[in-house]
Amino acid sequence: MGGDHGPSVVVPGVALAAARHPGVRFLLHGDEAALNAELAKCPAAKAVSEVRHTDKAIAMDEKPAQAMRRGKGTSLWNAVESIRAGEAQGVVSAGNTGALMAISKLILRMAKGLERPAIVASWPTARGITAVLDVGANVESDAEQLVEFAIMGAAFHHAVHGSTRPTVGILNVGSEEAKGHDEVREAHALLRETKLDLDYHGFVEGTDIAKGTVDVIVTDGFTGNIAVKTAEGLARFFANELRGALTSTPLSMLGALLASGGLKKLRARMDPGAINGGPLLGLGGIVVKSHGGADAKGFASAIRVAVDLARSDFLAEIERNMERLTAVVADRPTEAAQGVSE
């Protein structure tokens, strides 16, 4: 539940998802009266849903620490708890991201061997979809964490975007070996020498994101968050400028009308809702964050991500690669001295 719109978006989103994923059933955690009112309007959702009432909720602006302390019994808490209880295979929430992360870590713990979670953004590119992570779960990431992001991102891309052997790049200020700070260069060395079940491409630059040079782009949460929000702002700016350009004169307006078919397709390509759904990776369960402002179609897209992850070999794949990484890291006695340091 949660998000800017609550049940009025979640329930129609479930209806869309139900048509797309036969056999999937939904537990809806939240205010019974509000949920039932929406379900009454939406028989397709009602047929596959069960309501779990609670009148407690976590506010969108609540701090994660506070949410953890007083979160018990809220819709968000109960949803995550239903994974631990074995009632659900995944959670989708449009609520408070920080709270979702904190409560999920508390209840589900990290998956075996992983140090830090990561949030993934799926980015439409010239060649398909590129997964960028971390986009905000951490503000700093050391070399080993960056390698963990590579492993998680590859498993995610394989499960959700269908690549057979995902290509992975590390985001840097240039593609030459000597570029960047210690963390990215050390992660680069680790990915070069560890035989992981992914195709490590090397360093990539900011321009490579939209080009789709690789399937997975790895970066620290600070840089990733700023890259993804910069792009979001720019997409909105372009959309406004385009609207302005096409309504500036009567002739432009007529032109826009004639070109509306093509422009509609363009809007769909540029619509972030079309690939909404950022999983919180690294946890001992499947948790997907839907954008707070997403519409029903966007929410259904987030559900799709959770369903694809739940039906895949995703967690086992991460575990296999983590074992290989651990073996390599254990074999590097001087690693700490050799400067993964600050």
Report the DSSP beta bridge partners of residue 133: 120, 218
From candidates 33, 40, 59, 259, binder to a second copy by CB under 8 A: 259
Tell me how far CA of residue 342 lies from CA of 163, 183, 184, 198, in angstroms. Answer: 35, 8, 12, 28
Please, which residue, 50 or 238, has the CB nearer to a second copy? 238
Residue 37 or residue 270: which is nearer to a second copy going by CB? 270
Here's the x/- map for a second copy, 221-240, by CB under 8 A: it reads as xxx-xxxxxxxxxxxxxx-x
Question: Do residues 206 and 171 make contact, with C-beta atoms less than 8 angstroms apart?
Answer: yes
Q: Smallest gap, in angstroms, from Cβ of residue 309 to a second copy? A: 25
Q: Is 59 in the site for a second copy (CB under 8 A)?
A: no
Q: For the window 115-144, what string marks contact with a second copy as x by the rule CB under 8 A?
A: ----------xx---------x--xx----
> Which listed residue (57, 118, 209, 306) binds a second copy by CB under 8 A?
209
**Is residue 96 close enough to count as binding a second copy by CB under 8 A?**
no
Number of residues that bind a second copy (CB under 8 A): 61
Name residues contacting a second copy, limited to 75-94 (CB under 8 A): none
- How far is it, in rounded angstroms, from Cα 30 to Cα 133? 30
CA dihedral 87, 90, 94, 96 (to 10 degrees): 80
Give the count of beta carbons closer than 10 Å to the beta carbon of residue 177: 13
Distance CA 204, CA 133 (A): 14
Q: Are strands 167-171 and 199-204 parallel, antiparallel or unpaired?
A: parallel
How far is it, in rounded angstroms, from Cα 294 to Cα 272? 9
Please report whether residue 207 would count as binding a second copy according to CB under 8 A: yes
H or E element, residue 328: helix 314-330
| 261 scored as a contact of a second copy (CB under 8 A) | yes
- The single residue among 22, 23, 164, 269 that binds a second copy, judged by CB under 8 A, is 269
Per-residue DSSP letter, 289: E
Quick one: which segment of 40-48, 67-75, 259-267, 306-314 binds a second copy (CB under 8 A)? Answer: 259-267
Q: Is 223 helix (H, G, I), strand (E, B) or coil?
A: helix
Task: Write out the residues near a second copy by the rule CB under 8 A.
Answer: 125-126, 136, 139-140, 171, 173, 179-181, 205-211, 219, 221-223, 225-238, 240-242, 244-249, 251-263, 265-266, 269-270
